[in-house]
Structure 1
Amino acid sequence: MVARIVKDNYPGHVLTEAEDWRQPYIFCCPHAGRDYPRKLLGQSPLPLETLRRSEDAYVDQLIPRFATEFAPVLEAKFPRLFVDVNRSPGELDPSIFQGQVEGADEFRSSRVVAGFGVIPKLAADGRTIYRSRLPNSEAKARLKNCFQPYHDALRSLVAKGRKRFGRVVVVDWHSMPSSALANGKLHDIVLGDLHGVSCDPREAELWQEAFAAEGFSVARNAPYAGGYVAGHYGSPDSGVSVLQIEINRRLYMDERRVARSRDFHRFTKRIEQVVDRVVMARAPGAVAAE
């Protein structure tokens, strides 16, 4: 599926409600959006093909279709280089905008300094996204129309899940470039729980065992431990776990062309098996608290 060039200056998100929410999971896909505002393409000297390499491309299509039978699925439709919902809203880079930017209280964070704040400055290859500075009103507009509605939806799901089950697990689906190394090794899957802070260790272990059982090599927290979603929502003691899943892109796509590989559909079957293992392991205890 190719990217879409849309007239809407601020694409939104899609929430697919569960047919029968019977498992304490929320599946999220924050970085696979491929609805590119025509306005954005006019602001950038980079071709669409280059911009797309910042996507967690096609991860939304890796989430099994049967997932919505038992859990809600939340997907951002806007691209991550337009608005990155896995960053704090305060991680704004003033150098992108004209004049003073309200709310840029985390402009010295390591992610902003690296060029990858909530509104990124750089594309995946390190090139500058914009040919000139944006109006400072653009920062507020993107947060209001893209970032906030996505997190309003997630926050509402978390509250509903806790009420229904007494606990909830946010599974945040991502992909990583094949150049990502953990201790000098290239892994198929990296599970991030902020080094045990954002997710119940039993839950993280359950997913690790399910991936390993399907023949995937799995690392924990290296090189990716989790971002804003894990840090902001994850509180196992309060009944909210967040587990970030990073999938090696070489397993299912051509990274240079941002295209699905010949093995894409076969790979989706493997991911289905992983999710099915987790669901079957959880089924006996997945009883609503209501």
Structure 2
Amino acid sequence: MTDDCELFEVREPETQSIPFVYNSPHSGRRYPAEFLDESQLDSMAIRRSEDHFVDELFGAAPDFGAPLLLAHFPRAFVDVNREPYELDPRMFSDPLPPFANSHSVRVAGGLGTIPRIVAENMEIYGRRMPVSVALERIENIYKPYHARLRQLIARTHARFGFGVLIDCHSMPGNIRIGGNGIRPDFIIGDRYGTSASVELSHAALQMLEDLGFTAVRNKPYAGGFITEHYGRPVRGLHALQIEVNRALYIDEATLRKRPDFHALAGSIAVFMGQMAAFVADYTGTSALAAE
């Protein structure tokens, strides 16, 4: 079953049979014509912040009995993996409302709720916009998206007494870890053990490594607003962010899928099945209590 919407979509299993919710908030690729007209970037450059085809990589979620929420709107238009009002005053022609957070690290980097840049520090807009434009996007896109995500998580928790949110993302192929220069294939983020059980994170890492991938935890991506906001291990709600290295499955210059795209999707499906089995073994025990 599908719940179609111009802005986002929930792909539902016939019956939700596992306590998982999958979320792909940055894979949207429907760019409003007026937004493209306002941008000073071309149609290829504006896409540099997308989590390209991540919704397809994790598309098997309903086959395993879990809903998959995915955005159709692009991250460059509004970023739902931020606080609702992380806004950069340099972008606007009038003052921000007093409740806006204009001092976060993400705002300073140009990646607030209404992004100022796409990857590689490319400025999206050639001129300032009215604050009302940002507030309209937050009201009409950001808030409905989070309302739907909250509903899915609450339904899952009510049904199973337990829930795992997997927040699905991709990362640039040039990411390296610290001084050792390792290029990770996957990064599992749990906000340093605060958004999910450490044991759940370690199980995810081990599964990926057993599938032949290089997987690390929290560095350089520990999880964004969604992971932090919805992960409540003490209440039996766990949230993991998973980053997939784009070099594994697309040509980053052309943004076209590589021939082994479907093989990677198949490996991710195996991982999803293994995660479901792992949680089934431990649900109701103390093994996934917060640490």
Match of 1:44 among 13, 20, 39: 39
Contact 1:96–1:134 (CA<8 Å) still a contact in 2? yes
Higher deviation after alignment, 243-252 or 230-239: 230-239
- From the superposition, tell whether residues 145 and 110 of structure 1 become closer, same or farther in structure 2 (CA, over 3 Å): same
1:82 maps onto 2:62 in alignment: no
Corresponding residue number in structure 1 for 2:67? 72
1:164 maps onto 2:162 in alignment: no
Corresponding residue number in structure 2 for 1:178? 173
Q: Give, in angstroms, the shift of residue 59 of structure 1.
A: 0.5
Contact 1:83–1:120 (CA<8 Å) still a contact in 2? yes
1:282 maps onto 2:273 in alignment: no
Higher deviation after alignment, 30-39 or 69-78: 69-78
Higher deviation after alignment, 94-103 or 266-275: 94-103
1:268 maps onto 2:269 in alignment: no
Across the two proteins, how many residue pairs are aligned to each other? 278
Match of 1:54 among 38, 49, 55: 49
- Which residue identity lines up with residue 212 of structure 1 in the other structure? E
Q: For 1:185-264, what aligned pairs fall within 5 Å after superposition?
A: 185-264=182-261
Q: For 1:83-162, what aligned pairs fall within 5 Å after superposition?
A: 83-102=78-97, 105-162=100-157
Q: Give, in angstroms, the shift of residue 103 of structure 1.
A: 5.6
Q: Which ranges in structure 1 are unaligned for 5 or more consecutive residues?
A: 1-9
**Per-residue CA shift, 1:255-289, capped at 9, x if unaligned?**
111111111112111111211222233345569xx
Q: Distance in 1 between matches of 2:259 and 2:203?
A: 30
Higher deviation after alignment, 215-224 or 268-277: 268-277
**Per-residue CA shift, 1:128-163, capped at 9, x if unaligned?**
100111121111110011110110001111111111
- Which residue identity lines up with residue 251 of structure 1 in the other structure? L
Moved over 4 A (4+): 284-287
Q: Give, in angstroms, the shift of residue 242 of structure 1.
A: 0.6
Q: Give, in angstroms, the shift of residue 102 of structure 1.
A: 2.4
Question: What RMSD, in angstroms, separates the aligned Cα atoms of the two structures?
Answer: 1.7
SS of residue in 2 equivalent to 1:125: helix
- Which residue identity lines up with residue 78 of structure 2 in the other structure? V
**Per-residue CA shift, 1:80-110, capped at 9, x if unaligned?**
1111110111211121112022265311100
Q: Which ranges in structure 2 are unaligned for 5 or more consecutive residues?
A: 285-291
Corresponding residue number in structure 1 for 2:28? 33
Contact 1:12–1:145 (CA<8 Å) still a contact in 2? no
Corresponding residue number in structure 2 for 1:5? none
- Which residue identity lines up with residue 252 of structure 2 in the other structure? E
**Per-residue CA shift, 1:189-225, capped at 9, x if unaligned?**
0000000000112221221121111001111000000
- TM-score, normalised relative to structure 1: 0.91
- TM-score, normalised relative to structure 2: 0.91
Q: Distance in 2 between matches of 1:162 and 1:265?
A: 32
Contact 1:19–1:69 (CA<8 Å) still a contact in 2? no
Q: Distance in 2 between matches of 1:260 and 1:145?
A: 32
Higher deviation after alignment, 49-58 or 62-71: 62-71
Q: Distance in 1 between matches of 2:174 and 2:59?
A: 26
